């Protein structure tokens, strides 16, 4: 009878949870919508070694290296099917990746990139919510689309890039 009682209690709990409001109903409505994870960026001290790891060891499809002087980086994208990894390497002494690698000599996760359907509306609303944006205007990112970065201190220690979908 102890087992039967526990099973009946579990069934009641499952019914209660499944009939309760979905989590998404607790999210306030916005003019703009947050989309899918576009990529996770990883700063690497040796771009060729990192490319070889993902391509030759793990068998991933890896792009050619692209220089983005306006961002001070070289980028390589690793296709993962449902998202991408962006390998970042410094381009020039003033590169933000160079300073990141000075603090993290072996490299590491640099930022995450999430798509948004309206980057200008996102900027306006985020500023009203006291989220600091690291530039006054969007810049063109590695995919040729407008991007902004949100201050990591306002995003629980994570540098967040928003990209126009």
Q: What is the pLDDT of residues 10-27, one digit of tens each?
A: 555 555 555 555 555 565
Residues 112-158: pLDDT tens digits?
A: 999 999 999 999 999 999 999 999 999 999 999 999 999 999 999 99
Q: Is the pLDDT of residue 65 over 80?
A: yes
The fold of 34-164 is: 2,3-Dihydroxybiphenyl 1,2-Dioxygenase; domain 1 (3.10.180)
Q: Could you tell me the CA-to-CA distances from 102 to 89, 92, 93, 99, 111 in Å, in that order? A: 12, 14, 11, 5, 16
Residue 135, pLDDT score:
95
Verdict on whether the full-model pTM lies above 0.85:
no
* Confidence check: pLDDT of 4 > 90: no
For residue 133, what is the DSSP state? B
Q: Rounded distance, CA 142 to CA 139, Å?
A: 10
Model pLDDT, residue 25? 55
Q: Per-residue pLDDT for 28 more than 80? A: no
3-state secondary structure of 53: helix
pLDDT tens per residue, range 69-110: 989 999 999 999 999 999 999 998 789 999 999 999 999 999
Burial class (CB in 10 A: 0-12, 13-18, 19+), 14: exposed
| Contacts of 92 by beta carbon, 8 Å cutoff, 6+ apart | 69, 72, 98
């Amino acid at each position: 009878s102890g087992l039967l009682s526990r099973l009946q209690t579990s069934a009641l709990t499952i019914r209660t949870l499944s009939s309760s409001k979905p989590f998404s109903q607790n999210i306030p409505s916005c003019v703009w919508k947050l989309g899918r994870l576009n990529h996770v960026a990883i700063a690497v001290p040796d771009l060729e070694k990192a490319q070889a790891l993902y391509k030759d060891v793990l068998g991933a499809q890896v792009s050619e290296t692209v220089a983005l002087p306006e961002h001070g980086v070289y980028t390589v994208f690793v296709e993962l099917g449902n998202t991408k990894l962006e390998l970042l390497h410094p381009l020039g002494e003033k590169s933000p990746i160079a300073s990141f690698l000075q603090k993290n000599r072996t490299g590491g996760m640099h930022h995450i990139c999430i798509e948004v359907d309206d980057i200008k509306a996102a900027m306006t609303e985020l500023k009203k919510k006291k989220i600091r944006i690291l530039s006054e205007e969007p810049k063109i990112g590695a995919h040729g689309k407008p991007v902004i970065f949100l201050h990591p201190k306002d995003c629980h220690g994570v540098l967040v890039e928003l990209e126009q979908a």
